[in-house]
Amino acid sequence: MKTMKLGRSDIDVSVVALGTWGLGGGSVWSDRDSTVEEAKSLLDACRDYGINYIDTAPVYGTGVSETLLGEALKGRRHDFVLQTKCSLNWRNEGGNFHYSRDGYTVNNDTRPEAIRRDVEDSLRRMQSDYLDSLIVHYVCKSFPVEDTVGALEELIKEGKIRAYGLSNSQPEDLVAYRSAPDAKQGVSVVQEFFSILSPFHGRKYFPVCRESDTVFQTYGVLEEGFLTSPAFLERRFEKTDIRSRIPWVNPACHATLKKAFELWTPLCEAHNCSFAALVEAWALTQYDRMSLLVGMRRPQNVADTARCLDLVLTPDEVRRMEEAVAPIQVAVLDK
């Protein structure tokens, strides 16, 4: 497994990171709820393939994902780089309304007191004394950036976190965070949507990340499964499920996607890989400090994803892959 430094921190992370949104289950992932034993097996597979970077969030199943990971990490917490998030909470203590789901009202709050409470809640759920990385889940412009950065830097001094980053943000947000008066370590990672179907936001962000010595962590590279196989296009999901709300569920996109799979088949055969690994390998060609955050719920998914690191795509192959889906690419996705 290839590794890199997480921004300007001293943390070594695997290029592939385990995304655990799906572990949270609930109405967002309506087809399957995970167990502690399944989470343990997933971490076993990650360890076997050298994946040490794990990402979660309090709102993934309103605490479920973090709680499962806490149990699965017992006895091996130090084997993994643990990243969770702050700003979205369901404590009803202020902030801006974000959404209501599964009987909870979630607010977005980046005030120092909210961030500190988020961290304490996550540490308790995951049974840990510290977090390796803390991501501001949704950048919020209602509260001063300097106050948020000050709180994050203070948590580093206290040893509660080792690094911090941003998600669901814009390049100008990274500039604002790195320019805050108390920004000593600065933003180590930005976590943003990016895929061959929606590459524009990331490409706009890459130059600013490079200037800031910041890792770009992509989520959604497989578009919640829609880029894994033609058969996935036939699946149907509950209305609350994230997979029912993104553009690729629309039958109007299916003809282009099916044609893309046809065009990509010779590439998979040439590289002896799955469609998923091919698409993941494409993503790694886009930025030299790319962290590939992949939602995986089965050990076999881990093995298949690790395969992408062995693939070397030519510029012509990259171009052909992109041309196949150009008619249905979109600029903005909100998941």
Report if residue 274 sits inside a domain.
Answer: yes
* pLDDT at residue 185, rounded to an integer: 87
| Count of CB atoms situated within 10 Å of the CB of 266 | 11
| Count of CB atoms situated within 10 Å of the CB of 217 | 28
Residue 198, beta-bridge partner list? 195
Cα–Cα distance for residue pair 308/111, rounded to 1 Å: 39
Report if residue 134 sits inside a domain.
Answer: yes
Sign of CA dihedral 238, 239, 242, 244: positive
* pLDDT at residue 168, rounded to an integer: 96
**CB burial of residue 320 (10 Å; 0-12, 13-18, 19+):** middle
Report if residue 334 sits inside a domain.
Answer: no
Q: Give buried/exposed letters for 267-296 (b at 16+ CB in 10 A, else e).
A: bbeebebbbbbbbbbbbbbbbebbbbbbbb
Cα–Cα distance for residue pair 102/10, rounded to 1 Å: 39
In tens digits, the chain (335 residues) has pLDDT values of 799 999 999 999 999 999 999 999 888 887 778 899 999 999 999 999 999 999 999 999 999 999 999 999 999 999 999 999 999 999 999 999 999 999 999 999 999 999 999 999 999 999 999 999 999 999 999 999 999 999 999 999 999 999 999 999 999 999 999 999 999 989 999 999 999 999 999 999 999 999 999 999 999 999 999 999 999 999 988 888 888 888 999 999 999 999 999 999 999 999 999 999 999 999 999 999 999 999 998 899 999 999 999 999 999 999 999 999 999 998 876 65
Range of the domain at 79: 3-328
Closest to 282 (Cα-Cα) out of 246, 237, 324, 252: 324
Number of domains in the chain: 1
Residue 14, beta-bridge partner list? 3
Report if residue 335 sits inside a domain.
Answer: no
Report if residue 115 sits inside a domain.
Answer: yes
Q: Give the containing element (helix H, strand E) for 7.
A: none
> How far apart are the two ends of the chain, measured CA to CA in Å?
29
* pLDDT at residue 150, rounded to an integer: 97
* pLDDT at residue 334, rounded to an integer: 65
Closest to 137 (Cα-Cα) out of 160, 168, 113: 168
Total-model pTM: 0.95
Residue 77's CATH number:
3.20.20.100
Sign of CA dihedral 53, 295, 213, 131: negative
Q: How far is CA 107 from CA 64, 98, 100, 181, 191, in A?
A: 18, 5, 9, 27, 20
Q: Give the containing element (helix H, strand E) for 208.
A: helix 200-212
Report if residue 333 sits inside a domain.
Answer: no
* pLDDT at residue 156, rounded to an integer: 97
Max Cα separation, the chain?
55
